[in-house]
Structure 1
Amino acid sequence: MWCDRLVRGLDQHEFEVYALSRSPRQASGGFMELPGAVRRVRTAPLWGEVAGTPRRGRESYGRRERRRFAECFGELAAAISAPGGPGSPVAPAVPASLDAPAAPAVPEPDRAEWAGGTDSTGYADGRQADRFASGLYGLADLAREHGGLPAALRSETAVRALERACHTPGALHGAHQARVADLLTLAGALERALRPLSLDWYGEGHGEGPGATAGPGLSGVDLCHAASAGPAALPGLLARRFFGTPLLVTEYGVRLREYYLASAARPAAPRSAAHSGPVRTLLASFQGRLAAEAYARAALVTPGNTHVRRWQERCGAAPERLRTVYPGMDASRFAEVGERGAGGAGRAG
């Protein structure tokens, strides 16, 4: 895989690996033997319960923190319940297959319309992107300063914020149909996806998480290289916000497309294993908003093929920051990138 080739092929650099697991099976798979250039490996699960978080936990916040959480999460909830999210035109034509993006029912907007402004074509406007970013980074700041975010994301405050957003006039059609059980499921899914906001990866003394070890974490790296624009990009986005660290996103598959494919298969799954329609709709919107934020903040986005590139552009990635890098290329030409004559090895997270 490409990250293995990086850590083995660029041995003049030092690497720190920060990995998120999606399931117990993936987490129990163990590690392959790593080269000496990898100085640290940190892992965290996006499944199960957070250690120390009550199953029906209330926020451990005072009045001021509760109000701050309600404002930030309310912004994020409003953004994901708004129609016309990245990658999802309001009235798409039915795709010939799930292997290709749906053709828009209207002409695709130019870059200015992708980036912001009120858009009559039905695509996301800049206001909703700003609301999503404001809510996301507000929650990150709250977690960094006070901890307690996992419990807050599963609290009654969070569920009520989702309920208000879903029942707001003009919200996504599927969101209007969300029931209490759907909102509880959605809150749990968002808590798991947003766990990177609460990790202790960003510098000594910040965040919360089991198995913490002393060290600068992402505050001491020169570059963050994310394997996708989904939750895996969150540590890089926060390092950029907290420390100004540049972010590079490489994708050989698009997280939003993967979510659509998985959602299409779930109706055939047992009822206990399938999310309802409203939950699938809102989680797809969340994935789209998060991908758009990652593409907007990344210094460079490197798709693995033109199909991935089209999806990234559909989600708002700026063409001038896209560089297609096909897998299987000889990496020797990149062996001396960045540090020639600099008198020291950099570190990448």
Structure 2
Amino acid sequence: MRIGLLTEGGYPYVSGDARLWCDRLVRGLGQHEFDVYAFSRSQAEEDEGWVPLPPQVSRVRTAPLWTPEDDGVVYGRRARRRFTEHYAELAAALCAAGPAPTGARPDAGPATAETPGVPPQADRFANALYGLAELAREEGGLAAALRSETAVRALERACRAPGAQRPAREARVPDLLAVAAHLERALRPLTLDWYQEDGLGAVDLCHAASGGTAALPGLLARHFFGVPLLVTEYGVRLRTHYLTRPDSSPAVRSLLAAFHGRLAAEIYRQAAFITPGNTHARRWQERCGADRAKLRTVYSGMDAAPFTEVGEGQESADPHTLVWVGRVEPAKDLVSLLHAFAEIRKQEPGTRLRIIGGPAGPEGEAYLGHCRMLAAQLFPDEAEGPHAVGDNPVSFEETGGPELPTPADAYAAGAVTVLSSVVEGFPVRLVEAMFCGRATVSTDVGAVVEVIGGTGLVVPPRNPRALAEACVSLLRDPERRERLGAAARARALELFTVEQNIAAFHGLYLEIVARTPVRRLPLDHTGAPQPFATPAEAHVPGHWTDPAPRPVPSWAAQEQVPVTEAAR
């Protein structure tokens, strides 16, 4: 099977997001062929180059999102009229008053306040989007049109039209320019030459490694060629958009939220399956219009091999040491952890805390310096007790040295692993601790409860007292620590390995293709047609591989059964 893998700022770039799981997926499915279609986010990302690609990657096509491209096409009168009509319809769908997308009508996208004689906003948005894509495919020149004064004036008319929502009506010229510029960047995938028979039209299915911009080429491949679309979101892009524009004006936030909400709803509506990485992401997708019947939770796959030695008990842990592992940044709330440790020291004076990890950027550097100062204030050098003078019970370290050469050694350094975050998506460090068979104390954020599943202690975030009490309870009960650690390792090996991730996607690929009618005649190695290579029933539209299909003649049953079994 031929897979079109769609990424944004990710695989195959060295520094890309989700690079690791995409690489493991491609390498784990060597029986399939992959065409990679990737968007880059910066010149620096492109300069760093690609990761080594396995032989099953037959093609890589890239396009920059950080700089506009112009093909030099100047629209004639008819093309300008088409562009104005479609862009005005898109703007009208964004400005129209109505509730945000919800899961109430998953088959029709987001619910809206409809006006008699006016199509639902989801349909208006989709018609305008595909109209712009068809114009770009036939005429080219869409990038220049999206940056033109015509686009800004169409947006302004939509904002001033009767029935527009209040924030849109209050948009000023700087707001209109900002929104038009953002729409131009977001719609750049429409201008690409990827949508040809020998491009995305040649793949059996498109797999978008994230929602939003990365999934847009898959949406167009489905529109032009009927290629099925699979969307994977380990972090919901719509949620990310809401969190990254707090300083914009109400008009800009409202219009861009409407655009990303409509786009997400259309992607979810057209996708064959949607695979969130956890229940937290799944709830967001349902609220944004995703049909529950299409949702399949597929956890991020991680390599358990580096943690096997520690997890199987071949490395002894210090029973009086707590370990925190991760990137040092404000969202990890090490300040609360240090205050909690001060309470722990009052009850268990011999306990030590090892904070292992480097800072994340300049903000992380400043935060690390603040945490070092706080540790020095909370734990001045002790002249008495179990530690010598000058021995602070809190240490700040990084892996890679002689004492802690690997991440597994970091978890092996303590009996209890602590996570103190106030914001967390999928807690990768927590899963690593589970692979190592460590008892854990975590804050209830993101997908932590779902990952832990009863194999560790969970406390409210920003609550040092609760964090301290949970840690003390485990420090005083070695049997409980051992029991929870064993259960955590068993759970992690069952749910969060690379093998389960690859198997899940392989099953979804087979199910999607089995339910998709054949779109082209297979060819042999010489390029000659093979008219009998595909069973006749594969051309029948519909879910002909359902568990209870209509009776088929005995001569067809032999060919139908293997595909049905594979789809299951």
Q: TM-score range by the shorter chain?
A: 0.7 to 0.9
Q: After the TM superposition, which residues 225-304 of structure 1 pair with which residues of structure 2 at under 5 Å, given as runs?
A: 225-264=207-246, 267=247, 275-304=248-277
1:160 matched to which residue of 2? 153
Describe the shift of the 1:74–1:256 C-alpha distance in structure 2 as closer, same or farther (beyond 3 A): same
2:195 matched to which residue of 1? 202
**Does the aligned pair in 2 maintain the 1:22–1:46 contact within 8 Å?**
yes
1:323 matched to which residue of 2? 296
Q: After the TM superposition, which residues 2-151 of structure 1 pair with which residues of structure 2 at under 5 Å, given as runs?
A: 2-52=21-71, 60-84=74-98, 86-87=100-101, 110-111=104-105, 115=109, 127-151=120-144
Q: Residue type matched to 1:227 in 2?
A: A
Describe the shift of the 1:112–1:263 C-alpha distance in structure 2 as closer, same or farther (beyond 3 A): closer
Could you list the per-position Cα deviations for residues 87-129 of structure 1 after superposition, in whole angstroms to 9, with x for gaps in the alignment?
Answer: 4xxxxxxxxxxxxxxxxxxxx7734797477659xxxx97000
2:378 matched to which residue of 1? none
What is the rounded CA distance, in whole Å, between the counterparts of 1:60 and 1:287 in structure 2? Answer: 29
Shift of 1:334: 4.9
**Does the aligned pair in 2 maintain the 1:113–1:119 contact within 8 Å?**
no
Q: Residue type matched to 2:121 in 1?
A: Q
What is the rounded CA distance, in whole Å, between the counterparts of 1:23 and 1:85 in structure 2? Answer: 35
SS at match of 1:294: helix
Greater relative contact order structure (CA < 8 Å, 6+ sep):
1
Describe the shift of the 1:68–1:2 C-alpha distance in structure 2 as closer, same or farther (beyond 3 A): same
Whichever of the two has the greater Rg, that structure is 2
Shift of 1:279: 2.0
SS at match of 1:28: helix
What is the rounded CA distance, in whole Å, between the counterparts of 1:63 and 1:141 in structure 2? Answer: 17
What is the rounded CA distance, in whole Å, between the counterparts of 1:256 and 1:315 in structure 2? Answer: 9
Describe the shift of the 1:181–1:220 C-alpha distance in structure 2 as closer, same or farther (beyond 3 A): same
Q: After the TM superposition, which residues 323-342 of structure 1 pair with which residues of structure 2 at under 5 Å, given as runs?
A: 323-328=296-301, 329=496, 330-331=499-500, 333-334=503-504, 337=507
How many percent identity over aligned positions? 62
Shift of 1:297: 0.3
Shift of 1:199: 0.4
What is the rounded CA distance, in whole Å, between the counterparts of 1:10 and 1:61 in structure 2? Answer: 45
Pick one of 174, 178, 181 that aligns with 1:188. Answer: 181
SS at match of 1:283: helix
Aligned pair count reads 295
What is the rounded CA distance, in whole Å, between the counterparts of 2:50 and 2:203 in structure 1? Answer: 22
SS at match of 1:263: coil
What is the rounded CA distance, in whole Å, between the counterparts of 1:335 and 1:233 in structure 2? Answer: 17
Which 10-residue stretch deviates more, 36-45 or 244-253?
A: 36-45
Shift of 1:276: 3.7
**Does the aligned pair in 1 maintain the 2:100–2:111 contact within 8 Å?**
no
2:202 matched to which residue of 1? 220
**Does the aligned pair in 2 maintain the 1:86–1:316 contact within 8 Å?**
no
What is the rounded CA distance, in whole Å, between the counterparts of 2:104 and 2:42 in structure 1? Answer: 39
Shift of 1:130: 0.2
What is the rounded CA distance, in whole Å, between the counterparts of 1:253 and 1:46 in structure 2? Answer: 20
What is the rounded CA distance, in whole Å, between the counterparts of 2:275 and 2:143 in structure 1? Answer: 32
Shift of 1:69: 0.7
Taking only aligned residues, the RMSD between alpha carbons, in angstroms, comes to 2.8
**Does the aligned pair in 1 maintain the 2:103–2:110 contact within 8 Å?**
no
- Unmatched tracts of structure 1, length 5 or more: 54-58, 88-107, 205-215, 268-274, 345-349
